[in-house]
């Protein structure tokens, strides 16, 4: 997810005007690639980091892992 978000934000050719058929793996990524708004890119990064934290907590069998995974 981090790789695709980075690709979409920095390497995806920015068409003018933005098109609705941008590549996407989540709704947030589609919003980023179809509008070129940085807010959606940052949101995608936050979601990806939440997934990484949830995975690390689940691997360590922490007490809050189920709540973080549910949030992710």
Nearest alpha carbon to residue 14 among 32, 39, 26: 32
In a domain? residue 13: no
Could you tell me what percentage of the chain is helix, strand and coil, using 3-state DSSP and rounding each to the nearest 5? 70, 0, 30
Q: Which helix (H) or strand (E) covers residue 28, if one does?
A: helix 27-35
> Does residue 67 lie within any of the structural domains?
yes
Least Cα distance to 24 among 40, 41, 8, 39 occurs for 8
Tell whether 9 is covered by a domain. Answer: no
Q: Is the pLDDT of residue 52 over 80?
A: yes
Examine residue 45 and state whether it is found in any structural domain, yes or no.
Answer: yes
pLDDT in tens, 5-35: 777 778 877 767 766 666 666 778 778 777 7
Task: Provide the domain limits for residue 56.
Answer: 37-71
* pLDDT given for residue 18 in this prediction: 67
Is residue 16 a part of any domain in this protein?
A: no
Name, of 1-5, 46-50, 63-67, the range with top average pLDDT.
46-50
pTM assigned to the model: 0.65
Count of domains observed in the chain? 1
The answer to whether position 10 is within a domain reads no
């Amino acid at each position: 997810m981090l790789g695709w978000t980075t690709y979409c934000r920095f390497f995806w050719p920015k068409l003018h005007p933005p098109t609705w058929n941008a590549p996407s793996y989540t709704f947030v990524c589609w919003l980023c690639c179809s509008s070129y708004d940085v807010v959606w890119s940052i949101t995608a990064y936050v979601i990806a980091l939440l997934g990484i934290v949830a995975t690390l907590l689940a691997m360590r069998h922490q007490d809050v892992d189920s709540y973080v995974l549910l949030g992710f």
